[in-house]
Structure 1
Amino acid sequence: MQFLMIFTPTDATPPEPQVYAELARFGEESAKAGILVSTGGMFPSSFGARVQLAKGKFSVTDGPFPESKEVMAGWAILNVGSKTEAIEVAQRFMTIAGEGETEVRQLMDPPQQVS
């Protein structure tokens, strides 16, 4: 089973260099164990855009998005046996990354349906 893990820190301040080093070690260990499929961080919303389709017309809004209280900082795709295992990985990750919230969502294979 694959899960998407999205991390939103409480504090938008970039972590200290030693935190990045610990996260890199955790990522390497998780990848070697076959748990971590892919991961990455995100630039601030000022580097992004929102694309919206309403009534058949597209609109594009460039960042930043000051109305957003929560700013996602990073993501990972996990390969684990259950949602419980994905949550455990999220908890281990957050022990290093710091306070915030991590959303854990199972990914569907193309033929799967939501039931």
Structure 2
Amino acid sequence: MRFMMIAKATTDSENGVLPSSELFDAMARYNEELARAGVLVAAEGLHPSAGAIRISYPEPGGKPKVTDGPFTEAKELIAGFTLIEVKSREEAIEWAMRMPDPHGFGQGQIELHQVFEALELTSDPEALAKENEMRERVTRKPRA
């Protein structure tokens, strides 16, 4: 089971305030612990929404709309994510509870979302084979 731990944005993260060296070190130790346990898939921090782009679909079947950041509600935005692969929801919660406060000032908030697996979305054998083939290519292919 894969889960995404989403570190919610704060006014500081949206203003480009970088983590302290202590917080950076704590997060590095946490990510190393995830890696040693064999559950870490990815972990990344995100730039503030001032440099982000939102694509919305205001009408069914209509043309997408592009909106440049910044976006106003910091509490609705994300500042980073960690993707883990674990055996259960309980294990995902245990790992999330061990994450250091993502912003270090008692403002941190983490959302934990389970990632859909292809079998949950379709039972079509052809679609599943294509999905598996694509995932194998992605994990094998070195980036240019």
TM-score range, shorter chain: 0.7 to 0.9
Q: CA RMSD in A?
A: 2.0
Larger radius of gyration: 2
Which position in structure 1 is the counterpart of 2:133? none
Task: Report the CA distance between 1:42 and its aligned residue.
Answer: 0.5
Structure 2 stretches of 5 or more lacking a match? 122-144
Which position in structure 2 is the counterpart of 1:69? 74
Quick check: 2:7–2:81 contact (8 Å CA) kept in 1? yes
Pairs aligned (count): 113
Which position in structure 2 is the counterpart of 1:90? 96
Distance 1:65 1:11, change over 3 A: closer
Q: Deviations over 1:8-49 (max 9, x none)?
A: 155624321111011111101211211211110000001101
Percent of aligned pairs with the same amino acid: 37
Higher helix share: 2
Q: What pairs with 1:33-44 in structure 2 (closer than 5 Å)?
A: 33-44=37-48
Distance 1:61 1:9, change over 3 A: closer
Quick check: 1:22–1:96 contact (8 Å CA) kept in 2? no
Is residue 17 from structure 1 mapped to residue 21 from structure 2 by the alignment? yes
- How many Å separate the matches in 2 of 1:15 and 1:21? 10
Task: Report the CA distance between 1:69 and its aligned residue.
Answer: 3.1
- How many Å separate the matches in 2 of 1:9 and 1:63? 14
Structure 1 stretches of 5 or more lacking a match? none
Higher strand share: 1
Task: Report the CA distance between 1:97 and its aligned residue.
Answer: 5.2
- How many Å separate the matches in 1 of 2:6 and 2:70? 19
Which position in structure 2 is the counterpart of 1:7? 7
Task: Report the CA distance between 1:110 and its aligned residue.
Answer: 1.2
- TM-score, with structure 1 as normaliser: 0.85
Q: Deviations over 1:60-91 (max 9, x none)?
A: 0000012x131311101111111111111111
After the TM superposition, list the runs of 4 or more consecutive aligned residues in structure 1 that deviate by more than 4 angstroms.
Answer: none
